[in-house]
Amino acid sequence: MENFRGKGEKIFKISLVSGALAVAVAVVVVSLAPRRAPDAKSVPGEGAQKKGQQAQVESKSTSTLARLDNVFFLPEADPGYASRPRPSSRNLPVANGTRRIGPPKAVTSKAEGEFIKPRWSPDGLELLFSKPGYNGLYVKGVEGGSLKELSDASHVGYKSQWNPDGTITAVTNEGKVQKLNPDGTPVEAPSPLEDTNYVGAFTQDDRVYYRGAAGEPARLVSEGDDRFYGGVVSPDGRYIAYNGLYTGLYIAPLDGSGPPIYLGEGHSPSWLPDGSGIVYNVSIDDGHQLLASDLYLASVDGTTISNLTQTPDQIEIHPSVSPDGQWVAYEVDGVIYIAPIY
Q: 120 and 24, same structural domain?
A: no
Between CA 79 and CA 73 the distance in angstroms is: 11
What per-residue confidence (pLDDT) applies to 126? 95
Q: 17 and 156, same structural domain?
A: no
Q: Choose the most confident range, by mean pLDDT, from 38-42, 203-207, 308-312.
A: 308-312
What per-residue confidence (pLDDT) applies to 179? 82
- Do the domain assignments include residue 46? no
Which pLDDT band holds residue 136 (cuts at 50, 70, 90)? very high
Q: Does residue 102 have a pLDDT over 70?
A: yes
Which amino acid is present at 269? P
Q: 127 and 2, same structural domain?
A: no
Q: 308 and 226, same structural domain?
A: yes
What per-residue confidence (pLDDT) applies to 172? 77
The percent of residues above 90 in pLDDT, for the chain, comes to 46
Which pLDDT band holds residue 107 (cuts at 50, 70, 90)? very high
pLDDT digits (tens, 9 = 90+) for 6-64: 444 444 444 444 444 443 434 333 333 333 222 333 333 333 333 343 333 333 222 22
Q: 18 and 158, same structural domain?
A: no
CA dist 238 to 156, 232, 274, Å? 29, 11, 11
CB 88, CB 302: distance < 8 Å: no
DSSP 8-state class, residue 111: T
Q: 21 and 165, same structural domain?
A: no
Q: Which helix (H) or strand (E) holds 18?
A: helix 2-32
Number of domains in the chain: 2
User: Measured in Å, how far apart are the chain's first and last C-alpha atoms?
Assistant: 91
Domain harbouring 282, CATH code: 2.120.10.60
Q: 126 and 11, same structural domain?
A: no
Q: Does residue 145 have a pLDDT over 90?
A: no
What per-residue confidence (pLDDT) applies to 112? 96
Q: 124 and 12, same structural domain?
A: no
Average pLDDT of the segment spanning 264-285: 95
- Do the domain assignments include residue 328? yes
Angle of CA points 114, 116, 121, to nearest 5°: 120
What per-residue confidence (pLDDT) applies to 77? 42
Q: Which helix (H) or strand (E) holds 9?
A: helix 2-32
Q: 299 and 214, same structural domain?
A: yes
What per-residue confidence (pLDDT) applies to 191? 56
pTM of the model: 0.70
Q: 200 and 111, same structural domain?
A: yes
Which pLDDT band holds residue 176 (cuts at 50, 70, 90)? confident
195: domain range?
A: 105-340
What per-residue confidence (pLDDT) applies to 279? 98
Which pLDDT band holds residue 243 (cuts at 50, 70, 90)? very high
- Do the domain assignments include residue 267? yes
What per-residue confidence (pLDDT) applies to 206? 85
Between CA 56 and CA 263 the distance in angstroms is: 9
Choose among 296, 226, 261: nearest CA to 77.
Answer: 226
Q: 146 and 13, same structural domain?
A: no
- Do the domain assignments include residue 44? no
- Do the domain assignments include residue 86? no
- Do the domain assignments include residue 93? no
Q: 111 and 23, same structural domain?
A: no
Between CA 30 and CA 26 the distance in angstroms is: 6
Judged by average pLDDT, the poorest of 74-83, 132-141, 154-163 is 74-83
CA dist 303 to 65, 93, 131, 266, 295, Å? 9, 11, 35, 15, 17
252 contact partners, CB below 8 Å, separation of at least 6: 221, 222, 239, 240, 242, 258, 259, 260, 261
What per-residue confidence (pLDDT) applies to 223? 83
Q: Does residue 262 have a pLDDT over 70?
A: yes
- Do the domain assignments include residue 272? yes
Average pLDDT of the segment spanning 206-217: 90
Instruction: Report the chain's mean pLDDT, rounded to a whole number.
Output: 77
What is the DSSP track for 59-74? -TTT-SS---S-----
- Do the domain assignments include residue 72? no
